[in-house]
């Protein structure tokens, strides 16, 4: 079975074709359409950009595969709400519900729906499966999933911590267990997916038991342009006093905060690290990012009752040795000791902790496209 994985981000659309069988999965080719839209563009313009990119990718894939053809398409969808806790065959009803959930993931779900619609339009008879970023976290126990609001109110309004980056966390944890040469049972690991969007996940026995993102992808770590954790009372105060409107506040929290807001110059860690020696504000933003990650790792080590290993993934997690070192130095009390030699230029996946480190530290690429294809193939062959 040839499965085409489509992975839509907030400004890019990655794709990869896989040859799937009971004996394994092999990548055939991959690519990306990036900088598809700006954050200031109207939503209908963004949707059109993703629809056009999807059509181009499908045409390109058909040509590259000839004389073979695409047998199925697997698409990443960021928010699955309460209904979608496992891969789902795409129908018009599913597309409508994905679009309805855009209020919970405003940067992603509308774009995800546009990709699904384009695929259905071009290949209406082709099996298409939606794979949800929130699905991996549906195992969160109630004490981790629920906010301290009246239970009836939460149930009525479907309020809970859904978590995100589940496809990435699941992929990285699977590779981590392989690197540790053990199965998931009996393990306590933490995965740190650090990029423009960033989250941390506590995983016990291969199952997500807590994660830093919540009802929306805005909660948790400091991110490229997202603020992460913030006092709800501050939001109420700003709205009550009429300081800002709801649309203005949403734009501020999602697009003008995080590393960009703290540094005043960029949301890109590479640019901040280059500027930090002569720019105190850039250095401050870097330190704040590292502190927030270390804070969550420490908290999740407590949630897990100990820690066997930690893994870094994502654009920052995979490529910034300085950030990994900065985070791990704050976690020495947990038994995480980094080998600076191994940390500097690792061939991924790589162990970067010292041989005598009680807790292993790894850098592992998040193979989201592969995970999407794996889940799609598994769903279609066992449905």
Instruction: Tell me which residues are annotated as active site.
Output: 133
- Residue 17, beta-bridge partner list: 4, 29
How many C-alpha atoms does 5 have within 13 Å on its Cβ side?
Answer: 31
Residues in CB range of 196: below 8 A, 6 or more apart:
10, 223, 224, 225, 267, 315
**Helix ranges restricted to H, the chain:** 43-65, 92-100, 109-122, 142-145, 151-157, 166-180, 232-240, 246-255, 258-263, 269-275, 280-304, 314-319, 321-329, 340-344, 368-382
Residue 67: asked if its preceding bond is cis (omega within 30°), the reply is yes
Label residue 295 exposed, middle or buried (CB < 10 Å: 0-12, 13-18, 19+).
Answer: middle
Task: Please state the length of the chain.
Answer: 383
Q: Which two tokens stand for residue 192?
A: 């740190």
Please tell me the distance from the alpha carbon of residue 119 to that of residue 5, in angstroms, as a whole number: 12
3-state secondary structure of 154: helix
Label residue 85 exposed, middle or buried (CB < 10 Å: 0-12, 13-18, 19+).
Answer: middle
3-state secondary structure of 240: helix
Please tell me the distance from the alpha carbon of residue 302 to that of residue 204, in angstroms, as a whole number: 12
Q: Which two tokens stand for residue 89?
A: 């065959």
Q: Which two tokens stand for residue 302?
A: 């407590």
């Amino acid at each position: 079975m040839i499965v085409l994985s489509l992975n839509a981000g907030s400004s890019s659309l990655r794709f990869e074709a896989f040859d799937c069988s009971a004996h394994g999965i092999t990548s055939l080719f991959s690519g990306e359409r990036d900088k598809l839209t700006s954050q200031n563009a109207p939503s209908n313009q963004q949707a059109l950009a993703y629809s056009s990119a999807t059509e181009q990718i499908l045409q390109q894939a058909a040509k590259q595969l000839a004389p073979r053809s695409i047998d199925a398409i697997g698409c990443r969808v960021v928010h699955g709400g309460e209904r979608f806790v496992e891969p789902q065959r795409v129908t018009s009803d599913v597309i409508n519900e994905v679009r309805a959930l855009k209020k919970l993931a405003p940067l992603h779900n509308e774009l995800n729906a546009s990709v699904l619609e384009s695929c259905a339009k071009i290949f209406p008879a082709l099996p298409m499966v939606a794979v949800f970023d929130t699905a991996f976290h549906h195992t969160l126990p109630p004490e981790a999933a629920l906010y301290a609001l009246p239970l009836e109110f939460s149930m009525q309004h479907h309020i809970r911590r859904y978590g995100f980056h589940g496809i990435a966390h699941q992929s990285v944890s699977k590779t981590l267990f392989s690197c540790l040469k053990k199965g998931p049972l009996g393990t306590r690991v933490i995965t740190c997916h650090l990029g423009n969007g960033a989250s941390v996940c506590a995983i016990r026995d291969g199952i997500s038991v807590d994660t830093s993102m919540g009802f929306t992808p805005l909660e948790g770590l400091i991110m490229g342009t997202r603020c992460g954790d913030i006092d709800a009372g501050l939001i109420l105060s700003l709205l009550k006093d009429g300081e800002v409107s709801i649309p203005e506040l949403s734009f501020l929290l999602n697009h003008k905060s995080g590393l960009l807001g703290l540094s005043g110059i960029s949301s890109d860690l590479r640019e901040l690290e280059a500027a930090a020696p002569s720019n105190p504000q850039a250095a401050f933003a870097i330190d704040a990012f590292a502190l927030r990650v270390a804070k969550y790792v420490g908290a999740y080590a407590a949630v897990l009752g100990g820690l066997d290993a930690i893994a870094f993934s994502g654009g920052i997690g995979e490529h910034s040795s300085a950030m990994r070192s900065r985070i791990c130095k704050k976690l020495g009390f947990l038994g995480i000791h980094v080998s600076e030699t191994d940390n500097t230029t690792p061939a991924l996946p790589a162990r970067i902790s010292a041989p005598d480190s009680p807790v292993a530290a790894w850098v592992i690429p998040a193979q989201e496209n592969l995970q999407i294809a794996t889940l799609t193939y598994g769903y279609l062959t066992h449905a």
